[in-house]
Amino acid sequence: MNSATVPLLDDDTIAFGDEDNANKQFVHPYIVFFHLIFRGAAIVVYILCGWFSDSFIASFVLVILLLSADFWTVKNISGRLLVGLRWWNYVDDDGKSHWVFESKQNRVNRNESRLFWMGLILCPLIWSGFFIICLFGLKFKWMLLVLIALTLNGANLYGYVKCKFGAKENLQSATTDFVKKQLLQNASSFMFAQPAPPTTGNTGVI
């Protein structure tokens, strides 16, 4: 199994990364809505399902449907349109599986990017909290549902982090290099900052 960052296939019909306009507050408001609604609804249904139904199977199926819709939407639509990132897999003629991580972020809208990453990061954290609750509460049947949610949410999070930081670059090293770069820039600006010119007051002769 190989991972690489390669250009789009020739039969791609949409110009990847060319859909956004950074000058507008929201270029794709409906995409932002659906990016957040499915994963948010899955969490809300998981929390409140016991209040409206005693059927574990009905609640399980409903949450799985919402998680599946969220996974498909985030992987195939919102990532490409909101942040100019896409990850996918294909099998070549030799039967080898290739993972592709694409990045084209020259026209990313800042507001949409913030909401995209907020939803992408916060929801796995919330499901992780549910997992801890199920573990200590010995709710093993609900733990299975939480594990599925963590798998689907975590797959998109991992894929888009790989897209953003590079397919072959380690996330920890990328974060360390970013921090070092920021510290170096701050230190350089502090050491080589030009002193402010002295203010000269107006003098008059009486």
The three-state secondary structure class of 122 is: helix
Cα 90 to the center of its chain, rounded Å? 22
DSSP readout, 130-187? HHHHHHHHT-HHHHHHHHHHHHHHHHHHHHHHHHHH-TTS-HHHHHHHHHHHHHHHHH
- How confident is the model at residue 100, as a pLDDT? 82
- How confident is the model at residue 36, as a pLDDT? 92
The three-state secondary structure class of 113 is: helix
- How confident is the model at residue 119, as a pLDDT? 93
* Long-range interactions of 4-9: CB distance < 8 A, separation 24+: 4/98, 4/99, 4/100, 4/101, 4/167, 5/100, 5/101, 5/102, 5/103, 5/166, 5/167, 6/100, 6/102, 7/102, 8/102
- How confident is the model at residue 9, as a pLDDT? 38
Tokens of 188: 């350089």
- How confident is the model at residue 155, as a pLDDT? 92
Q: Are strands 2-4 and 97-103 parallel, antiparallel or unpaired?
A: parallel
Give the helix/strand (H/E) hosting 40. Answer: helix 29-52
Q: Which residues contact 129 (CB under 8 A, 6 or more apart)?
A: none
Predicted confidence pLDDT, tens digits, the chain (206 residues): 555 544 443 333 344 544 445 456 778 889 999 999 999 999 999 999 878 777 889 999 999 999 999 999 999 999 888 888 888 888 888 888 888 888 876 677 888 889 999 999 999 999 999 999 999 988 888 999 999 999 999 999 999 998 888 744 554 555 555 555 555 665 555 555 555 555 554 444 44
Q: With a threshold of 0.85, does the pTM exceed it?
A: no
